[in-house]
Amino acid sequence: MPKKFIRRYLPEHHVIKEHKHLQFLGEHLHDPNLWHLNRRSVAKAVAVGFFCMYLPIPGQMIVAAILAILLGANLPLSVVLVWITNPLTMPPMFYAAYKLGAWVLGSEHQVSPDIFTFSGALHEMGEIWWPLLLGSLILGLTLAGVGYVGARLLWRWIVIKSWQKRRQRLPSAGDDRPRA
């Protein structure tokens, strides 16, 4: 079942409820629906996490938590998926977002991938912010949609496979011998 696999890797409820940066959400963190794992809540969480991981802002986890509360997504999974954006993945992700945004805008300004270090980005922010933001929104929304549909399809496929395995294990009606 997908629940067991996902639950194994998610942090405990109390860890997120006690996180110092999420305390402003107050009683909203105690809504039991935010902690359930089902096809809808997981698919929404994947969409929220994938969208927020492409936001070129600090505090992506906070944005993911707020969106999870508003949309009824699984809160821990929404926040954990934002961690895909980390110091190793951030430069190529945001460089790709910049290139997409520059292509959509038809921008002539070219930058090299090493500009997407912290100091390089601050130096060139005036030139790159609009293509970076546009590319990030396009990629975030696209990945959110693909992630939502993919999570729902994957969940359904896993459930169908488990039903098929269960059906193979159970003897059929009128058959006295056990199946191998």
pLDDT band at residue 24 using 50, 70 and 90 as cut-offs: low
Give the torsion sign (CA, 102, 128, 139, 112): positive
Cα 144 to Cα 40, 52, 68: the distances in Å are 14, 9, 13
Examine residue 180 and state whether it is found in any structural domain, yes or no: no
Examine residue 154 and state whether it is found in any structural domain, yes or no: yes
How many structural domains comprise the chain?
1
Examine residue 177 and state whether it is found in any structural domain, yes or no: no
Mean pLDDT in residue range 29-52: 86
Examine residue 172 and state whether it is found in any structural domain, yes or no: no
Which position has the higher pLDDT, 17 or 68?
68
pLDDT digits (tens, 9 = 90+) for 50-109: 999 999 988 899 899 999 999 989 988 999 999 999 889 998 999 899 999 999 998 876
Nearest residue to 141 via CA among 73, 60, 54 = 54
Q: What span, in angstroms and rounded, lies between the C-alpha atoms of 72 and 59? A: 20
Range of the domain at 50: 2-164
Residue 1: the pLDDT is 47
Examine residue 171 and state whether it is found in any structural domain, yes or no: no
Q: What span, in angstroms and rounded, lies between the C-alpha atoms of 141 and 5? A: 26
Examine residue 159 and state whether it is found in any structural domain, yes or no: yes
Which position has the higher pLDDT, 41 or 114?
41
Q: Which of 8-22, 26-40, 55-69, 131-145 shows the highest mean pLDDT?
A: 131-145
Residue 30: the pLDDT is 66
* pTM of model > 0.75: no
Examine residue 178 and state whether it is found in any structural domain, yes or no: no
Examine residue 15 and state whether it is found in any structural domain, yes or no: yes
Residue 4: the pLDDT is 65
Cα–Cα–Cα angle for 157, 158, 161, nearest 5°? 85
